[in-house]
Structures are given as C-alpha cells and as structure tokens.
Chain A
C-alpha cells in the first residue's frame, strides 16, 4: 500500500487545522486516522484528492471537532480553540457549511455510536465449565472401557467425576432443560439444550432441582450428585452431545 508523503500529510493537517481542529494532540491522532483512510482509498484506485474528499465525507470535520471538545473536557484542558480561529478559517467554514446547504444535506444531529447492519450474533455458547465446583477427580474417561458392573467392553459416552452425595451439579452453559427424568442406567438425569447443536447430560443424580422447560444460567445448580441408576458409588456421569454425537466432555470443561 502506498504511504502518504510529507507534502500530502501536510495538506491534510492544514485542512484539519483550518477547520478548527486546533489542539495539537487531538489533531495528530485524527490526522493519522484520516491518513490511514486516505491510504486505503488510494489502494482502491482513487487519486489523492478524490481519496481525501471521500475520506472527509465519511469522517466529517464536525465530528472531529466534537471529538476534540470531548477530549479537552476529559483531560480538563481549556477549550479555547474558537478564539484562535482566524478570519480566513471562518470564511472556509462558511464555505463548507454553504456547500451543505446547497446540497440540502445536513450533518446528522448526533453521531451514532455504531452503524449496525445485520448482526448475526450467537447468543449461546457450548458447555464451557466443569459441572462441579472446584477440582473434582475424573475417575473414568471418555471412550472404550470395561464397564465396572457389567464387566464387558463398552463405549463410555461421557466422563465420571468422583464426588460426595449432595455435591451441587451445575449447568455448564446457559440453556433450556429438555429432560429431567429417571432411567434404569442413568438414574435421575437432566439434559440441557444449549443451542441448535449442543446438549449436555448429567446422570446418577440423587436429586434434581429443575424440570423440563426451565431456563438455566451457566453455573446454576440443577441437582445433586448421587448414585441412582446403574452405579456402584456416588459420582456424576457427564456427557456433551453435539448434533446427536457424543463428544469428549473433557475438552469442554474450560471457557
């Protein structure tokens, strides 16, 4: 990308100075900003004058002066730029203003903070914390294992945390409770739907404190550790399901 030369930078600085951006510190910062804009327009194929005009249309001098005023107020400096305005500068400003009036365009009364077009923001996140507070020991990992009771090789669809009966079990991300029921294997278990892709499952609970349809926040208590269902000792069996497939929950324990 072509960098502006000293002459061009000087011309832009004069434009800002003449139009009332009198504070040296503010002007230096805004000058760099305008120069960056101009350089990006040059890269699009405009010549220097065209690029400068286009740039000053999107970032207008009025806006610069508002920035200057607020900056001077914030840093408790005296805002006395108007006094320093020369007669020539006043004429220039009048010319710029009359150009507006002729085009029947008025600068926006107040600048918007953001121009928002079509934001597609994902509001929910996949599970991203441990279902238990603190450092709970993982006693059985995800994948093939010999089942502790059935003694056969079986896929373990989640991970098991060793914890005392009554330990609070927490939602690992915000979502909606889509199941809170009893199953002969899972015991008391809760399923939370987080978004279109992710669900999490909490099994072997002693008690459940949520019901189907409840909204839960990340970290909210949904039940307590127990040994219900097919279980030998108090533990939490925890699953993460993405698009119907079992994921290794160990990779979803942290933000």
Chain B
C-alpha cells in the first residue's frame, strides 16, 4: 500500500494528465474522475487537489475560467501550452520511474 508521501509527488502528474485528456475540468469533476478510473482505489482529497490546482495556476501551467452553471459559479481549469508540455514530460518521466522501480523490486518470474 502506497503512503501519502509517496503519492504526494504524483498528484501534479495526475492533474496535468487529466486535463490533457479531458481539456477542461473543474475540481469536483477531477475527484470523481480519479475515483472512477482507479476503480475507487485512489481518492483525491479536496485539501490536496485545490492547493495543487492553485499552485499550477500561479505557475502559469493552467488557465482558469469562471462559468455560471445554473445558480452558481464554476471554476474550470485547462492547460496552457507550457502546461501541456509539462504534462507530457511528467507522464513519461513517471512511467520510466515506475518501470525501473518494478524491475528493481519485483523481478518477473522467469518460469514460463
């Protein structure tokens, strides 16, 4: 079971990848999407996702727009060009890392 410390570093990767795949999303939608796609294994907490999104916004990796939906306002996030670039880099970096870790820790059984 992965510790929060271990996963903290991957939160930005998860968020950038979600936005790269879906274009425009709001916070609640991202939480739902991560829960569904991981079959309930990963549950993003609000206390983690919003500060991370605000940091991405301040760093210029995401753009935001406010849209009135029904009787309330919704804040949508989408990637800036540098956000798209960061998403590609982060995802491939992470895949390489995971594969290398798996090779180190859990060698494939050689018996066919």
Contacts and interface: CB of A to CB of B under 8 A. Distances in A.
Interface of A: 3-6, 9, 28-33, 35-37, 59, 63-64, 66-67, 70-71, 74-75, 111-121, 123-125, 174-176, 178, 193, 195, 213, 215, 217-218
Interface in B38-71: 38-48, 50-51, 54-55, 57-58, 66, 69-71
Interface string B1-42: 110100110010000000000000011100000000011111
Given A33-B27, A113-B8, A193-B108, A63 B99 contact: no
Given A37-B28, A111-B48, 9 more contacts: A4-B71, A32-B27, A32-B74, A63-B46, A67-B46, A114-B11, A118-B41, A124-B108, A174-B99
B43 A115 contact: yes
Nearest to B104: A215
Nearest to A173: B99
Contact of B42 (A4, A70, A114, A213): A114
22 contacts: A6-B71, A31-B72, A32-B69, A32-B72, A33-B28, A36-B28, A37-B28, A70-B54, A111-B45, A114-B7, A114-B11, A114-B42, A116-B2, A117-B40, A118-B1, A119-B41, A120-B41, A123-B99, A124-B108, A174-B102, A195-B108, A215-B103
A67 B51 contact: yes
A195 to B, nearest CB: 7
Interface residues of B, number: 46
Contacts of B43: 114-117
B98 A123 contact: yes
A74 B103 contact: no
Contact of A114 (B28, B39, B48, B74): B48
B44 A114 contact: yes
A124 B54 CA distance: 33
B42 A119 contact: yes
B110 A116 contact: no
A217 B96 contact: yes
Contact of B73 (A32, A37, A121, A174): A32
Interface in B89-106: 95-96, 98-100, 102-103, 106
A115 B45 contact: yes
B50 A215 contact: no
A175 B108 contact: yes
Among the interface residues B27, B41, B47, B100, which one has the most CB atoms of the partner chain A within 10 A? B47
Given A32-B72, A63-B45, A114-B11, A119 B2 contact: yes
Contact of B75 (A32, A35, A37, A120): A32
Nearest to B110: A178
A87 to B, nearest CB: 28
Contacts of A217: 96, 99-100, 103
Contacts of A111: 45, 47-48
Contacts of B40: 117
Contacts of A121: 98
Contacts of B100: 174, 217
Among the interface residues B8, B51, B106, which one has the most CB atoms of the partner chain A within 10 A? B51
B33 to A, nearest CB: 13
